[in-house]
Structure 1
Amino acid sequence: MLIESRRRAYLNAMQVVNWLPRTELPFAAPSRPELLEMPEPELEVPVAPAPLGEAPAQPAARQAERPKIEVPRPSLASTRNGAKPVEEVDDTPVVVKPAPVPPPRFALQLLRAGRCLLLVELPTGEAFQSRDPAYLLLKDMLRAAGLPDAPQIVGEPVRWPWLNRGTLDQGPEAARDFVQGFLSVQMEAAPCACLWLIGLPAVKFAGEADAEAFNSELQIEGLGLAWAIPGLELLMEEPQRKAAVWQAMRRLMARWKQSDE
């Protein structure tokens, strides 16, 4: 048996507004008298046929239907004219991450000739051979400077990037710190009157300068005096640069000659 509250819930779910039980229901509320009154039947009135030429009467308006909620959509005409539907704008600020800087690639060899250290760019990335044209040019430069033309190799070549894989930072700043730290250790081991930086990678990552500093003196914090020189390959490709190198050498020659005395 159903109690009254549950019975009304079922009737509401079936959209039944008025109802009368056939028999007395247990636990039911008393019936309302107005629901027991039977309405009188309505008399049908005959409708006369409409005369010829007149439009038939329109049927009575249907019972009001449940209103429909329509979502506005862009019309075809506005789409053809190039108009776009209005979209909501997200005011949330977008954080743009800077693009990662690829690690520089270079190979440097440190040499010692007398009281000078030479940080030389390896044109091919491999260690110098005795008959390499670049190495023969370097020997000529040392003889012209009054230094031994058989420089001693100091350590292994410095190749960058240091690692081919991994998450270690190997950008330009890390390369600069590594090269300068390597030179600082070598200078502490033996004194140096002048540091030769031969090639753009040596000038850039040891002297913190660019190609405009070629044939000039650089004062590097922690490393002292340095001389920026174009790369050996560049001097062979553009021989006219050798005159400027020779003029700069004459200005600096007294530094390492005084050290030898």
Structure 2
Amino acid sequence: MQVVHWLPRTELPFAAPSRPELFVEPEPLVEAPLPEVHKAAEPVAKPVERPKIEVPRPASVNRAESKPAVAAEDAPAPVKVAQVPPPRFSLQLLRAGRCLVLVELPTGEAFQSRDPAYLLLKDMLRAAGLPDSPQLIGEPVRWPLLVRGNLDQGPEAARDFVQGFVQARREEGECACLWLIGLPAVRFAGVADAESYNRELQVEGLGSAWALPGLELLMDEPQRKADVWQAMRRLMARWKPNDE
């Protein structure tokens, strides 16, 4: 029956005395109240995160510092444009019959009646069947135009100026053929070079042109006169009247 202690209601005869502690009733157990559970849980403060500080490694720093040096090495070096000095020449435009003559002035100054170069020009015109006293048209064209200043006076500017000058005078009267005597005249009016001597050229805006060596060159190298004469015979029909 799982009885641990049993006490009689009355004292039993001849029974051993009972132990006093058995008659003390134990105090009833009192259960402690459980704490109330809150319906809403209180927010728990999160620990403050400390910002992370990244320390660059030596290898990264070296790579970052090396980039500008590599870029500077790879960058192309600035190209230096060589400044071409302006060409220097003096040209005189003349009219002889149905031809215009643009001739280099050997001395840079206007022709004088007794100049050897001018006497040679008169002989050439006479041989071509043209008047041997050509008419001067305007002042000599001297290049460069200005001694100082920032004006472009390079070869292209010289070519544009000479061609514009001759074209304007060509429109003032008939021109069956334009004589270009001397390398500056051939180069800046005919857009050609010395290889074109004694040849006929077709120049845009100026029409038919004949390239000849300079008068001074013909005087220094008389053997060139034969080539000039052969070319003149081929072109003479351009400026001579048909009835001759």
Alpha carbons 1:199, 1:231 under 8 Å: kept: yes
1:126–1:183: structure 2 CA closer, same or farther, 3 Å change rule? same
| Residue 110 (structure 1) aligned with residue 110 (structure 2) | no
Alpha carbons 1:115, 1:260 under 8 Å: kept: no
The 5-angstrom pairing of residues 138-177 of structure 1 reads 138-177=121-160
Q: Which has the larger radius of gyration?
A: 2
| Residue 121 (structure 1) aligned with residue 104 (structure 2) | yes
Alpha carbons 1:175, 1:205 under 8 Å: kept: yes
Deviation at 1:182, TM superposition (A): 0.2
* Percent identity of paired positions between Structure 1 and Structure 2: 79
TM score, norm. by length of structure 1? 0.65
| Residue 214 (structure 1) aligned with residue 214 (structure 2) | no
2:188 corresponds in structure 1 to 205
**1:166-206 CA distance string (max 9 Å, x none):** 11100000000000000110011111000000000000000
Letter in 2 for 1:227: W
Aligned-partner SS, 1:118: strand
The 5-angstrom pairing of residues 32-51 of structure 1 reads none
Counterpart CA distance in 2 for 1:233 and 1:203 is 15
Among 98, 103, 116, the alignment partner of 1:133 is 116
Count of residues in Structure 1 that have an aligned counterpart in Structure 2: 174
Deviation at 1:260, TM superposition (A): 8.4
1:246 corresponds in structure 2 to 229
RMSD: 1.3
Alpha carbons 1:115, 1:259 under 8 Å: kept: no
Counterpart CA distance in 2 for 1:259 and 1:161 is 42
Counterpart CA distance in 1 for 2:242 and 2:220 is 33
**1:199-249 CA distance string (max 9 Å, x none):** 000000000000000000000001000000000000000000000000000
Counterpart CA distance in 2 for 1:203 and 1:237 is 19
Letter in 2 for 1:257: K
1:158–1:130: structure 2 CA closer, same or farther, 3 Å change rule? same
TM score, norm. by length of structure 2? 0.69
| Residue 99 (structure 1) aligned with residue 114 (structure 2) | no
Aligned-partner SS, 2:87: coil
Which structure 2 segments of 5+ residues have no match? 1-68
Counterpart CA distance in 2 for 1:101 and 1:143 is 40
Aligned-partner SS, 1:137: helix
